[in-house]
Amino acid sequence: MKKAILLAVAMILGSQAPICAQTDEQDENKKITVTSKDGTQEEIDIPEGMESDLDSLLHLYNSKTYLMVDTACNYRDVNPIFEKEVYIDRLKKLPTVIEMPYNDVVQKFIDKYSGNLRRSVSYMLGASNFYMPFFEQALEAYNVPLELKYLPVIESALNPNAVSRVGATGLWQFMITTGKRYGLEVNSMIDERRDPLKASYAAAHYLSDLYKIFDDWNLVIAAYNCGPDNVNKAIRRSKGSPDYWNIYPYLPKETRGYVPAFIAANYIMNYYCDHNICPMVTELPPRTDTIVVNQDLHFEQVSKVLNITMEHIRALNPQYRQDIINGNTKPMALRLPSTLIGQFIDNQDSIFNYKTDELLLKRDTVEVNDDVPTYQRSRRSYRQYAKSSSKHKGRKNKRTRGGRQVAIREGDTLSEIAERHGTTVKKLRKLNHISGNSIRAGKKIRIK
């Protein structure tokens, strides 16, 4: 029955035509066109999370396993249009610390979510049951407004494996430098930006620090997107006005749409029923728990001994990049369904010994092959011969820097030595710093 329902997800969500007609769907999905008071039109970039492909979201493990279309939902697939005052009143009623003002830009983003992104909203409403408890727990710990739990809606569309065009990763879309600054480990084996709980605490900490700088939550949200330096530059260019809507023209294009998108996300996640959007039904996964691992462990070792799929282990432990927990480096956590924790403890030896030599290939020590290949033996013999030959030759004509040395015989003159060695007296004098013709038998003289 579950498989049949899962197959229906793609059919139902994929078969319905978009609410809004599109001339160029790809471009439309990346831009919002806004009109200023003087009638000038401008395109602003939408946050990357709003470009997410619904098909890829539906192929995530949690989506395939625990989400399904609500077949009992009888909403007509029609997006109703309301008067401006209705949107203003609804935004005003949201129980938030952060102000949620209305304007034409915010309206554009509400239309986006309630229009051609309504299928993604259906997914996110269902997936929020997995992730919102993590978000709320972390935000509460740092005493920041709980409505910030909707930031990952616009950052990643609630995809823990999301990677942006510039490398920002995870639900909260951390860049490597910012993630490491807030305690998230990133190396070839692990990327804690993908860990929903740890990344949520890091994000809450970062948002708290940004508020200490700007003392305004809209500026904090903008800075989360484009960095505090860009927000400070925009404040300077607007003659020091610390208000998001005043510095709006001086911000990067995507950041101009970021706060409006955040307001729209808060709106749609609360008023989806008024726009005839049916949340996907969530069957909550079994409770999970962690166990500390003190040596290297491959996911396949756990999978085969405990009879749990690799895909399930990966979904519970998305921070491990190579399916390996590098417990030899330091104690690391493995998350499993709570029902399997006892089995792991009871079967620990079997798990760690399962195909260790095949699955954990990094060697602790290696021996160097000291056999000399045949071609190298030939070269070595030749070098030894050449060295020996040069040594014997040097007894006769020892080479030195600037030429070779020869012994002066009894009765030799400079002209005789020059003639014998094919040079001139002038060159011999210059090379040996001789001013006259006096030379002594038995001494050495340099010749080129």
Q: Where are the alpha helices (DSSP H) in 272-320?
A: 299-306, 310-316
Segment holding 231, helix H or strand E: helix 228-237
**DSSP states of 114-175:** HTTTHHHHHHHHHHHHHHHHHHHHHHHHTT--GGGGGHHHHHHTT-TT-B-TT--BTTTTB-
Within 10 A of 446 (CB to CB), how many other CB atoms are there?
A: 16
| CB under 8 A, 24+ apart: contacts of 34-39 | 34/104, 34/105, 34/108, 35/104
Q: Are the CB atoms for 281 and 69 separated by under 8 Å?
A: yes
Q: Are the CB atoms for 312 and 61 separated by under 8 Å?
A: yes
Q: Is 316 helix (H, G, I), strand (E, B) or coil?
A: helix
Within its chain, how far is the Cα of 441 from the centroid? 80
DSSP state of 332: E
pLDDT value of position 31 = 78
pLDDT value of position 29 = 60
Q: Give Cα separations from 63 to 8, 129, 170, 374 (angstroms).
A: 13, 11, 16, 61
For 406, phi and psi rounded to 5 degrees?
-130, 155
174: β partners: 169
Residues 6+ apart with CB under 8 A from 351: 297, 301, 302, 305, 306, 344
Give which of 280, 334, 172 is closest to 164, Cα–Cα. Answer: 172
Q: Which candidate in 42, 51, 99, 155 is catalytic?
A: 155
CA distance 404 to 20: 92
Within 10 A of 8 (CB to CB), how many other CB atoms are there?
A: 13
Per-residue pLDDT of the chain in tens (448 residues, 90 and over written 9) = 444 444 344 333 433 333 233 334 444 567 778 777 777 777 888 888 888 888 889 999 999 999 999 989 988 889 999 999 999 999 999 999 999 999 999 999 999 999 999 999 999 999 999 999 999 999 999 999 999 999 999 999 999 999 999 999 999 999 999 999 999 999 999 999 999 999 999 999 999 999 999 999 999 999 999 999 999 999 999 988 899 999 999 999 889 999 999 999 999 999 999 999 999 999 988 899 999 999 999 999 999 999 999 999 999 999 999 999 999 999 999 999 999 999 999 999 999 999 998 898 877 788 888 776 766 666 666 666 666 655 555 454 444 455 788 888 887 888 888 888 888 888 888 888 887 777 888 888 888 7
Residue 155 appears among annotated catalytic residues? yes
Secondary structure in 3-state letters for 106-126: HHHHHHHHHCCCHHHHHHHHH
pLDDT value of position 433 = 81
Residues 6+ apart with CB under 8 A from 249: 238, 256
* Token couple for 377: 């033996």
